Structure 1
Amino acid sequence: MSIEFVFVSHGGDSHFSEVSSRYCVASLSSGTLLFKHHHHIAVSRTNKISAWLIGDVDNIDVLRRMLAQWGGETRSLNSADIVLQLQEQLGERAFSLAEGDFCLFMQKHNHDLVVVTESRGVNQVSMIKAEQLWITNSLALVRQMAGTKACHRMPVADSTFLPSDDFPLLTNIIRLQPGSINTIARDSQFCPYLESRALTAAHHQCC
C-alpha cells in the first residue's frame, strides 16, 4: 500500500494543525510536505537539490551496484542518495530505472519543485490547484485539511449516474502521469504552472 503524502504550498487557511500532529512534516521553501511513516522516507541533500523519496524502491540493490561502477562507497547511501547520484551520471534517464511504489519530491534551490512518479502507476499522484497548490496521492487527506473548497466539483443534474470514484467530476485536479517528471515553476506574477514530460527509458546492464 502506498504511503500517504501531501504537499501544500504556503498560504491559505487549511486545517494544517489538526492533521499535522498525526503525520511527519518536512518544511520546503515553497510549502510543507506531510507523510504518514518516517521509516519509509529517504532524504538526500546536495548543494543544488533537496530530495524526499516517499515509499520503497524495490530494485534499490541493483541500482546500488550500478552506481558502484563509477567508484566510491555506496553501502551507506539511502535510496534517495542513490537515485540522485545516478541522475548525476545518467541524467533524467536514471529516474526510469527505479522500480517500486514511491514518489520522489525534489526542491531545487531556485525554488522550483520537481515531482517524479514511478512508471507502473501503482502510486497515483494528483495536483490540485485551488487557493493553495496541493500534490498528493490521497484526496481524502486534502479534504481533511482544506474541506470541500479545495476540490471543485462539476455540476451533475442526476446523482443516479455519479461514479463511485468522483475523480472525473473534479475540475481543478490534474492526475500526474506514471513515469513522468513534473516541474511546478512560477511565472513573473508568481503564479504556479505545471511542466510535465515522460521519463526517457534508460537501457542498462547490471553487474
Structure 2
Amino acid sequence: MIRYQRLGRSEIVYTAALMVRALKANPVVVNTFMNLSQRNLSYEQGLCQYFQTELAIYLRKGIVLVAKDDLRIVGVSILVKPHTHIGLVQCLRLRRLTSILDLFKTSLRREIRMFNNRNRYLRMQSNNWELRLLAVELGYQDQKIETDFLKQGIFPTVMDCGGTLLTVKASSRLRALYFQNIGFQINNFKSLKSGQQSVPIWGLSKVL
C-alpha cells in the first residue's frame, strides 16, 4: 500500500538518487545540465549532488512529499509555497553546493539565465502553489501511481495548507495532456532556448 508523508532529512541522499534515475532523460534536465563542464564528476553524479542540495533547500522553504511502498520511497514531489522564489543562483550560494562549482564553468551564465527565465515564466501569480518537481521510481512509472500521488497526496497536502491553486510545468505535449486529463488547464506556452536547442514549456494550473 502506498503512503504519503513528508521527507525526512536522513532520506535526502536516497531520494536524490531516485530523482536522478527518474529525471536524467527529461529534456529540461538534459538541456540544463548535460553540457556543463564536468571535471571529476559524471553527469549523474553532479545531478545527484544538485538534487541533494535542492531537497535540503525545500525541506526548509517548501514541502517535500514522498510516496512510500512499505518503507521504500518510490516517488517524490517538491511543492513551492506562495511568495517563495528560489533559483539556481541561490542554490549556488549555499555551502553544500560549493564543492561542485567547477561543474558550472563556461556555460554557467547561460544555464542560470535559462533556469531563472523558466521559473519566472511559470510563476504566474505570487499567491500560487507550484508543483516544482514530480518524480516516480523506475518500475513504478505508470499513470495510476502518479495520479494517485497527485490526488491522494499532493492535492490534499496543498489544500490542508490553505492552497486553492496549483501550477505545474510540462516539457512535452504528452505530459501537458496528462495533466489536462486530471483537471489542469493550459495557461500559456513558451519555447525556451538553450544554446542551439529549444525546450517547449507548457504552464498549467488547477483550482483545488
Q: TM-score, normalised by structure 2?
A: 0.28
Q: TM-score, normalised by structure 1?
A: 0.28
Which one has a larger percent helix, Structure 1 or Structure 2? 2
Which one has a larger percent strand, Structure 1 or Structure 2? 1
